[in-house]
Amino acid sequence: MLEPLFHVLSRYESLSLHEEERLRKTILFDREVFADQDIVKAGSEPDRSSLLLSGFAARYKLLENGSRQITSLHVAGDFIDLHAFLLKKMDHGIMAISDCRIAYAQHAELEKITEEEPHLTRLLWLNTLVDGAIHREWIVAMGRRSKKAHLAHLLCELFVRLKTVKLTKGQSFTLPLSQATLSDVLGLSTVHMNRVIQALRQDGVIRWSNQQVEILQWDRLAEIAEFDMTYLRLELAER
């Protein structure tokens, strides 16, 4: 059940069996959250952190005029609010984009891990640092890339992340986001979001329908995006 998490953590540094056991004992109780439901409410102060076992989730903030900005997308294996362990108060909400399966780690247990398991602690810390690296890449995309390049970059990132948790088939993956939701990722109107997608289709680099994205020409897509996956830190380092 925790395999996606093991895949994610051990893509940074190998996990010992003892550490896997420790995580199994820490991460408990799973529940289902249906699409469009909040997994964690903005402003709450949870006493546990949520691990996404399956499905897609998003962190988001709402503005007074009702608009929404999604600040990150999450897939199986992602510790979606591990930062709440130390940040305490949620400064944003997290919602299920598709139906999601969630498991929990009590903050008290995480604290014990920081007292007793320094290596595992560093891996969990690293996990949150990769979140930060993704945030930085999104900032670059929003500030200085064309909208087409931004979308191309997002697709490259999702493909690579999904591949490490074995959720791609060949050059395809399932992306259960409506164009309206996607537009809240890129900060666009839905109309223009649609046109940007059309542009990538017309370039012949992707096929996309019924929530299935197929990358027809990875090299050209990566070139449009100027995609450099260093920031995802997927090369295994020695412990």
Partner DNA sequence: CGGCCGGTTGATCGTCGTCAAGTAAGGTGG
Partner DNA sequence: CCACCTTACTTGACGACGATCAACCGGCCG
The contact set with a second copy (CB under 8 A) reads 43, 59, 61, 63-64, 67-69, 71-72, 83, 86-89, 91-92, 111, 114-115, 118, 121-122, 125-126, 128-133, 135-140, 142-145, 184, 186-187, 226, 228, 230-231, 233, 237
Q: What amino acid is encoded at 180 in this protein?
A: A
121 binds, among DNA, a second copy, none (CB under 5 to 8 A by kind): a second copy
Q: How many CB atoms lie within 10 A of CB 32?
A: 13
**Separation of alpha carbons 167 and 75, rounded Å:** 9
Q: Identify which range of 46-54, 75-83, 158-166, 194-202 contacts DNA by CB under 7 A.
A: 194-202
6 binds, among a second copy, DNA, none (CB under 5 to 8 A by kind): none
Q: Please report, as residue ranges, which positions from 164 to 183 form the binding site for DNA (by CB under 7 A).
A: 178-180
DSSP 4-71: HHHHHHHTTBPPPHHHHHHHHHHEEEEEEE-TT-EEE-TT---SEEEEEEES-EEEEEE-TTS-EEEE
In the complex, what is the shortest distance from the CB of residue 195 to DNA, in angstroms, rounded to a whole number?
6
Q: Identify which range of 76-84, 193-201, 221-229, 231-239 contacts DNA by CB under 7 A.
A: 193-201
Q: Identify which range of 89-97, 165-173, 192-200, 229-237 contacts DNA by CB under 7 A.
A: 192-200
Question: Residue 207 — φ and ψ, nearest 5°?
Answer: -120, 145
31 binds DNA (CB under 7 A): no
**Separation of alpha carbons 57 and 43, rounded Å:** 18
Q: Which residue lies nearer to a second copy by CB, 35 or 140? A: 140
Using DSSP, state whether 175 is helix, strand or coil: coil
Q: Please report, as residue ranges, which positions from 87 to 146 form the binding site for DNA (by CB under 7 A).
A: 146
Q: How many CB atoms lie within 10 A of CB 61?
A: 14
The distance of Cα 236 from the centroid of its chain, to the nearest Å, equals: 19
